């Protein structure tokens, strides 16, 4: 597709996405919170890590394939849950699900998806679901029943949003959910006709304005309207007892997402989780949070062989994936990189992002003397 042939890395995709998207939407995806210290530190922490190359190893036949939760896949990655996807591309979640299936990796559908769960399930492949527990628990349990019936293979419970983040740039841009029409926003949209006609107009002509379509009846409000009450707001009272309760309800793989402290990792496993996702929410929630990759070794040591450790936040290169594996992760969740891809070219753009990461991981393995991902360990990282 036009433009992708000039995108040689994730940063190129980011710049292309910035050109296509209205500023308010792009910055909602791209930026962090408050002073964006945590956002910058996610990258700085990866950049500080150095790999010790190995030479004279026969790495002529390499594979990035792995097994995750008993299922073979082509590389140690999955697509992270990201609710803005439907704003970047018409049914952006569908584009991500299809790209993930084509790449042979899992796709994680977020609670706040703008594409129906049933439509995503029709895509096939390996599908996971991310859950925020709502204030009105029966609504959450009904949603969970739908996900179980549709055969989603893993449930990721996000637990790192104990309060609303302070995203000051949203206020400066006049961007919030629900979106409030303004002259600034209108001019911003008018200056990006590719997004206006390729995304927003397609919604209007097909299904109407984008909305939280998986919310219960009466709460499926379009992006310009507020729900009638806070029944589907994130429940700030969630505790470890809720994880134990979800363990009883959920029959498949259960992961707790948003873990940075080793004690919390232990508690998650004790509550019945099959694993944890080490994550600071991409630097979007708490600006003083430690970088995910810095928190990873201690969490991996705390979990040990009792569960599986995944990581997200800051992945931009295939070498980042190798660093995460070396420090104890079994796989990583790819977030913004895939979002930039769909913002540029939908499914093709997401596929392009994933293939670039796979190719970079493959090259990193070659330089590190690793024929397969199981050979990647802490000896790979320079002290």
Catalytic (active-site) positions:
281
Q: Which residue is associated with the tokens 């596929």?
A: 351
From the list 227, 198, 202, 199, the residue with the least C-alpha distance to 212 is 227
Distances (CA, A) of 309 to 77, 171, 295, 380: 12, 35, 12, 18
The pair phi, psi for residue 47, each rounded to 5°, is -65, -30
Distances (CA, A) of 295 to 1, 30, 299, 356, 379: 38, 22, 6, 26, 18
The pair phi, psi for residue 288, each rounded to 5°, is -105, 10
> CB under 8 Å to 219, separation ≥6 — which residues?
139, 212, 227, 228, 231, 232
Question: What is the C-alpha separation between 103 and 172, in angstroms, rounded?
Answer: 38
Question: What is the C-alpha separation between 334 and 107, in angstroms, rounded?
Answer: 10
Is 365:18 a contact under the CB 8 Å cutoff? no
Is 163:233 a contact under the CB 8 Å cutoff? no
> CB under 8 Å to 366, separation ≥6 — which residues?
59, 62
């Amino acid at each position: 597709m036009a433009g992708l042939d000039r995108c040689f890395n994730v940063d190129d995709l980011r710049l292309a996405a910035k050109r296509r998207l209205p500023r308010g939407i792009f910055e909602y995806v791209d930026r962090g919170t408050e002073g964006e210290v945590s956002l910058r530190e996610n990258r700085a922490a990866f950049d500080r890590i150095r790999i010790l190359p190995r030479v004279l190893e026969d790495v002529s036949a390499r594979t990035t394939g792995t097994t995750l939760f008993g299922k073979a896949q082509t590389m140690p990655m999955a697509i992270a849950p990201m609710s803005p996807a439907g704003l970047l591309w018409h049914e952006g979640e569908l584009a991500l699900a299809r790209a993930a299936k084509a790449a042979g990796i899992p796709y994680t559908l977020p609670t706040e998806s703008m594409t129906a769960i049933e439509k995503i399930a029709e895509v096939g492949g390996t599908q996971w679901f991310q859950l925020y527990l709502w204030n009105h628990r029966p609504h959450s349990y009904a949603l969970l029943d739908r996900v179980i019936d549709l055969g989603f293979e893993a449930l990721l419970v996000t637990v790192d949003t104990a309060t609303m983040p302070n995203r000051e740039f949203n206020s400066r841009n006049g961007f919030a959910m629900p979106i409030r029409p303004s002259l600034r926003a209108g001019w911003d949209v008018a200056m990006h006709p590719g997004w206006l006609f390729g995304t927003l107009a397609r919604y209007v002509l097909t299904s109407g304005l984008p909305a939280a379509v998986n919310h219960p009846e009466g709460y499926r409000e379009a992006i310009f309207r507020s729900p009638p009450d806070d029944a589907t707001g994130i429940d700030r009272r969630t505790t470890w007892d809720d994880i134990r309760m979800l363990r009883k309800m959920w029959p498949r793989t259960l992961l707790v997402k948003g873990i940075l402290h080793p004690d919390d990792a232990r508690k998650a496993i004790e509550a019945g989780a099959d694993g944890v996702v080490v994550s600071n929410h991409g630097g979007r929630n708490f600006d003083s949070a430690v970088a995910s990759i810095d928190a990873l070794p201690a969490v991996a040591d705390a979990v040990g062989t009792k569960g599986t450790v995944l990581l997200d936040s800051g992945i931009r290169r295939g070498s980042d994936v190798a660093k995460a594996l070396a420090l104890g992760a079994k796989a990583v969740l790819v977030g913004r990189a895939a979002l930039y891809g769909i913002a540029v070219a939908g499914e093709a753009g997401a596929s392009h992002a994933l293939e670039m990461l796979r190719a970079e991981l493959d090259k990193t393995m070659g330089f590190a003397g690793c024929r397969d991902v199981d050979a990647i360990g802490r000896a790979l990282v320079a002290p």
